[in-house]
Amino acid sequence: MTRIVFSGGRVFTGRATEPGDVVVEGDRIVDVGIGLDGDTVVDATGHTILPGLFDCHVHFMFSGADLVRSLNTPFSLPFYEAIGNMKATLECGITTVRDALGADLGVAEAVRRGLIQGPRMQIAVNMVSQTGGHNDDWMQCGAHISPPLHPGLPDTVADGPEELRKVIRTLVRHGADIIKIASSGGVMSPRSNPRHAHFRDEEIAMIVQEANAAGIAVMSHAMSGDGILTAVRNGVRSIEHGVFLTDEGVEEMLKNGTWLVPTLMAPRMVLDQAAAGVAISDVILDKARTVVAQHTQAFQKAHAAGVKIAMGTDSGVGPHGDNLNELTLMVEYGMTPAEALYATTTSAAELMRLGNELGELAPGKLADLVLVEGDAEQHVKAGTLKQSVRAVYQNGVNVI
């Protein structure tokens, strides 16, 4: 088996970058150190070698927040658009994602079988919401405005523990690797309020119980302080967004070991699209403007307290391929560049229960590597990391 050595670069260790070489055989890293040899040499002089990056919150089947466009898009077109969305994400060096709503088992299998190129993924299939919640597509005119459900995407609006038990089992049947719920309202749903908690304790307890029985975890879209608390005390693995996080919520997350996936980009992507002329309702824009400042404070509060943080963007709400801007925002609001990279590698791998295989450059791990020209930490700070990616390897194969 050919032994490939990435030689002469600097290796990100999880907390810092140090001089080093990385040796790959087949789909695995077999050695990391100084002065290593191989059958084939990839000259990494002047480059930083990173583990494959993670984005723990994407939507490959979405291509922006333009409702009018989506209503005029043929049903099958988003499946083809997803191919480009995946490639744009892979080009950033992101080799693993959680698709938080939209991609069905067929989309995931197309990547797993090598039919299309993209990050390996865990899929939520659809988001579980209460009636009138963040995934209820009812509009004031009386119409339902989401694309029609298809056999791979079951209806997931439900109320009460027994309805929810059925929904979770249905999602597992449909191939869900992760269960996503909405324990609060959100920005993009015009009839829900981000400050209001959704689902009661007994409902989320049932969701988590059924997910655990299937060997999978629960991620919760949670903006309101009470919605965060209800989700955390009932055992969800991660809080997505966490906009109105309270001190009590921080304490509960620390006690339970819950991750925060902040998606600082998400409301900003909505506002950027509106500024570019996309037709977005005033109701949604008002909510996006309201949450931005509070979102930043919540992130800073969680980081300062030592809450576990993993990188996620909500790409799909805005453009795919800009994912690494999230790292720069994380640094702007208090993280060091090394901490932001850790959140995008080791911490994210642990959140997704992939730490035994990914997230670090270490012997025995899958050979996902990203070659970045120059100092990756400086690029994170400057917002130039994407432009500096020179090669991406997934399972030992040069894919970009």
pLDDT tens digits for range 151-163: 899 999 999 999 9
Q: In this structure, are residues 96 and 357 in contact, taking their beta carbons and an 8 Å threshold? A: no
61 plus 38 within the same structural domain: no
144: pLDDT strictly greater than 70: no
235 plus 375 within the same structural domain: no
First and final C-alpha spacing in the chain? 22
71: pLDDT strictly greater than 80: no
For the segment 356-367, the average pLDDT, to the nearest whole number, is 98
192 plus 46 within the same structural domain: no
For the segment 235-263, the average pLDDT, to the nearest whole number, is 98
- Which of 70-84, 85-99, 333-347, 352-366 has the weakest average pLDDT? 70-84
- Which of 4-18, 58-72, 108-122 has the weakest average pLDDT? 58-72
CB burial class (10 A; 0-12, 13-18, 19+) of residue 190? middle
**Final residue of a structural domain among 301, 323, 345:** 323
122 plus 161 within the same structural domain: yes
For the segment 223-232, the average pLDDT, to the nearest whole number, is 97
For the segment 128-140, the average pLDDT, to the nearest whole number, is 83
Residue 259's beta-bridge partner residues? 238, 308
Predicted pLDDT at 279 = 83
How many residues would you count in the chain? 400
**The two three-digit tokens of residue 69, written as one number:** 């466009």
- Total domains, the chain: 2
Q: Which residue has the higher pLDDT, 236 or 133?
A: 236
Predicted pLDDT at 140 = 65
**∠ CA 108-110-116, rounded to 5°:** 120
Task: Specify whether the backbone of 359 is left (phi greater than 0), alpha (psi in -120 to 50) or beta.
Answer: left
For the segment 362-385, the average pLDDT, to the nearest whole number, is 98
26 plus 99 within the same structural domain: no
Range of the domain at 18: 3-51+358-398
Residue located via tokens 């997704």: 352
223: pLDDT strictly greater than 70: yes
166 plus 42 within the same structural domain: no
Nearest to 122 by CA among 185, 68, 66, 58: 58
**What is the per-residue pLDDT across 267-313, written as a single tens digit (0 to 9) for each?**
999 888 888 888 888 888 888 898 888 999 999 999 999 999 999 99
**What is the distance between the alpha carbons of residues 284 and 297, in angstroms, rounded to a whole number?**
21
Predicted pLDDT at 139 = 62
47 plus 160 within the same structural domain: no
Q: In this structure, are residues 129 and 136 in contact, taking their beta carbons and an 8 Å threshold? A: yes
Q: In this structure, are residues 187 and 194 in contact, taking their beta carbons and an 8 Å threshold? A: yes
146: pLDDT strictly greater than 70: no
**The two three-digit tokens of residue 204, written as one number:** 């989320």
223 plus 174 within the same structural domain: yes
**The two three-digit tokens of residue 141, written as one number:** 């005119």
CATH number of the domain at 210, please. 3.20.20.140
148: pLDDT strictly greater than 80: no
CATH number of the domain at 35, please. 2.30.40.10
36 plus 170 within the same structural domain: no
Task: Tell me the three state secondary structure of residue 199.
Answer: coil
User: Is 334 a domain residue?
Assistant: no
**The two three-digit tokens of residue 180, written as one number:** 């996503």
Q: In this structure, are residues 150 and 125 in contact, taking their beta carbons and an 8 Å threshold? A: no
**What is the per-residue pLDDT across 91-121, written as a single tens digit (0 to 9) for each?**
999 999 999 999 999 999 999 999 999 999 9
Strands 47-51 and 369-373: antiparallel
Average confidence score pLDDT of the chain: 94
Per-residue confidence at 59, pLDDT binned at 50, 70, 90?
very high
**Final residue of a structural domain among 297, 323, 349:** 323
Helices (H), the chain: 67-71, 77-91, 105-112, 161-173, 201-213, 225-233, 247-256, 265-275, 282-305, 325-332, 337-343, 346-351, 376-382
